[in-house]
C-alpha cells in the first residue's frame, strides 16, 4: 500500500505582468507549503507573469494598433524564457524542499524565434529537474491574439508517490483526445490549471474525476483590478476595462468518485491542502478503467505526435 500524497493548492494573484516579483511570490508560497511537508504544489494557468486580461476589453483585435503592440511588447519582455534561467530558483526550491511543482507560465520560447509566446505548464520534479513543458495546444478565442498554438511534446505524465500525474491548460481539459492521451499513460491524478473562475471549475472538475476515475484538481489564479501595477502600459485604462475581479478563483479538488475533497473557494487568496489516497483510485477503477479493462484498442485507438515542432531541422 502506498501512503497518501499531500497536495498544496495555492490560489494566488500574480504581481501582474511582472515576472520577477511574481516568481518571488511563487517562491514564498513554495516555502510556506514546504513547511507543511507538501509533496506537490500546483499553480494556475499563465500565473507568471499573468493572464492577458486586457485583450478582450481594450480592442485587442484591432489590427496593427500601436497600443496593442506596446502592451504585447511589455508582456513579451516579462514572459519566461526557461533557457535564460528564469526558473532556476524555483527548481532549486523544489530540490531543497523535496517538493514537486506544476507552474503555469507564459513562455517566450527560444526554439520558436524567442518572441512568440506560449501558454505553458511546467512540471518540476522533486529533484529540481524540469521534466516537461506542455505548450497549450489551442489557445482559446481572444487568447489567439497573444499566444501561439503549442504541440504534443508536453503530453506526458510523471510518477510521484503512488500516483501518475498529468496536467492540461484551461479549456484543453474539455478536449477528449488530450485527456485520453494522458489516460493512456496511466494518469490517476489530473491537474487542470485555469486563469481563475468558478464558472470553469464547478461543473467540469467532478466530471473529470468521474471520467478518469482519478483525482481531479482545478487550480485557479486570482485577479483583481487593483493587481494591475502602475508601470504596466495603459494601466489605468486596463483597470477600468477589466472590472473589479476578472478572475475569482474557484480552485477545488474532486475525488475519483466525483465527490469533493476540497470544495470551491472564490474571491480570496489562500493556500489549502488535501491528502490524496491512491487506494481511492484503485477502488473506483474496479468497475471502470478508461485506459485499461474498459478500453477497446482493437476498435478505437489514439495516435499522438509528441515531437516538439520547429520551423527548421538543421543537418551540419
Is 172 a catalytic site residue? no
Could you confirm whether 25 is annotated as catalytic? no
Selected catalytic residue, list 91, 136, 143, 210: 136
Cross-strand pairs, 165: 158, 189
Whether 136 is catalytic: yes
Q: How many CB atoms lie within 10 A of CB 290?
A: 17
Catalytic residue among 45, 143, 187, 284: 45
CB of 63 within 8 A of CB of 31?
Answer: no
CA angle (20 as vertex; 99, 155 as ends), nearest 5? 50
**From 25, 107, 143, 170, the catalytic residue:** 170
Active site residues: 45, 136, 170
Amino acid at each position: 500500500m502506498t501512503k497518501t500524497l499531500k497536495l498544496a493548492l495555492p490560489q494566488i494573484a500574480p504581481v501582474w505582468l511582472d515576472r520577477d516579483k511574481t516568481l518571488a511570490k511563487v517562491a514564498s508560497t513554495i516555502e510556506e507549503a514546504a513547511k507543511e511537508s507538501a509533496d506537490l504544489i500546483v499553480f494556475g494557468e499563465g500565473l507568471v507573469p499573468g493572464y492577458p486580461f486586457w485583450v478582450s476589453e481594450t480592442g485587442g483585435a484591432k489590427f496593427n494598433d500601436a497600443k496593442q503592440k506596446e502592451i504585447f511588447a511589455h508582456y513579451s519582455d516579462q514572459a519566461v524564457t526557461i533557457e535564460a534561467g528564469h526558473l532556476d530558483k524555483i527548481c532549486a526550491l523544489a530540490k531543497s524542499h523535496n517538493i514537486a511543482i506544476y507552474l503555469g507560465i507564459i513562455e517566450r520560447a527560444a526554439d520558436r524565434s524567442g518572441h512568440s509566446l506560449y501558454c505553458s505548464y511546467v512540471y518540476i520534479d522533486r529533484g529540481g529537474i524540469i521534466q516537461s513543458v506542455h505548450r497549450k495546444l489551442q489557445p482559446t478565442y481572444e487568447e489567439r491574439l497573444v499566444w501561439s498554438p503549442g504541440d504534443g511534446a508536453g503530453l506526458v505524465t510523471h510518477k510521484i508517490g503512488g500516483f501518475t500525474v498529468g496536467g492540461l491548460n484551461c479549456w484543453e481539459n474539455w478536449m477528449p483526445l488530450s485527456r485520453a492521451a494522458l489516460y493512456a499513460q496511466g494518469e490517476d491524478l489530473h491537474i487542470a490549471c485555469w486563469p481563475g473562475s468558478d464558472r470553469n471549475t464547478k461543473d467540469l472538475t467532478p466530471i473529470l474525476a468521474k471520467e478518469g476515475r482519478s483525482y481531479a484538481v482545478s487550480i485557479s489564479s486570482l485577479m483583481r483590478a487593483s493587481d494591475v501595477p502602475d508601470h504596466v502600459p495603459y494601466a489605468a485604462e486596463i483597470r477600468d476595462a477589466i472590472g473589479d475581479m476578472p478572475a475569482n478563483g474557484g480552485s477545488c479538488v474532486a475525488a475519483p468518485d466525483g465527490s469533493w475533497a476540497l470544495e470551491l473557494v472564490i474571491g480570496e487568496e489562500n493556500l489549502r491542502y488535501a491528502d490524496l489516497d491512491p487506494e481511492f483510485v484503485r477502488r473506483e477503477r474496479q468497475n471502470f478503467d478508461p485506459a485499461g479493462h474498459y478500453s477497446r484498442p482493437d476498435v478505437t485507438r489514439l495516435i499522438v505526435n509528441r515531437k516538439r515542432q520547429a520551423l527548421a531541422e538543421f543537418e551540419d
